[in-house]
Amino acid sequence: MKRLHAPPIMTSTKIVLFGTLLAVLFLLSCCSSLSDYRQQGFDAFQWQFNAVKNEDKDFHKVITLDTVTVHIVTDRKYFDWNIAAAYGSPVAGYANTNNEIWLFGKRVRGKIFVNQAILGHELNHLLNFKNREVVDPDRLDEIGL
């Protein structure tokens, strides 16, 4: 009698690689404006992030980089902005003029994992707050991107 094997389980690493590949494919295959590409990239990174199983359902990790503080949270209750903290809010991360970034994170194999697209977007906000020569990442359309 032939033994049947269960299909292999996707590991977090494979999910991350698959999500990154998916993001690249979206960017390469779509006939859209650059704004559409950005949104598709964000969506792909968010899909990848959502696909990763979180091992720690409740934490709030604060990391200070000289004068920048990053709050990595697992629940909206930790957000320090009512619009983002409201359940059902579409806000996945934000930055403020106090040099703080707030975003969701997950613990995977004892390490904290964040959506890199959200982190990069919010870091761009901090750069824009300090130097208006850096474009506001929410207004890239104004410069044709």
Has residue 1 been placed in a domain?
no
For residue 30, what pLDDT is reported? 42
Residue in this structure with the two tokens 């359309």, named with its chain if needed: 141
Q: State whether 115 and 73 are in the same domain.
A: yes
For residue 20, what are the domain limits? Answer: 11-52
Helix, strand and coil percent figures for the chain, each rounded to 5? 45, 20, 35
Give me the number of domains the chain comprises. 2
Residue 104 belongs to a domain: yes
Does residue 4 lie in a domain region?
A: no
| Distance from C-alpha of 114 to C-alpha of 24, rounded to nearest angstrom | 18
120 located within any domain: yes
Are residues 72 and 38 both part of a single domain?
A: no
pLDDT at 16: 64
Residues 25 and 47 in one domain: yes
Is 44 inside any structural domain?
Answer: yes
Query: Is 57 in the same domain as 31?
Result: no
Stretches where the chain sits below pLDDT 50 are 6, 25-31
Predicted confidence at residue 48, as pLDDT, reads 83
Tell me, yes or no, whether 2 lies in a domain.
no
Question: Do residues 68 and 48 share a domain?
Answer: no
What pLDDT was estimated at residue 96? 96
Closest CA to 22 of 51, 64, 2: 51
Q: Give the per-residue pLDDT at 18.
A: 62
What is the DSSP secondary structure assignment for residue 132, as one 8-state letter?
T
Percent of the chain with pLDDT over 70: 75
Give pTM, 2 decimals. Answer: 0.66
Query: 79 and 41 in one domain?
Result: no
Q: In this structure, are 37 and 59 located in the same domain?
A: no
Residues 107 and 40 in one domain: no
97 and 37, same structural domain? Answer: no
Whether 43 and 17 map to the same domain: the answer is: yes
35 and 69 inside one domain = no
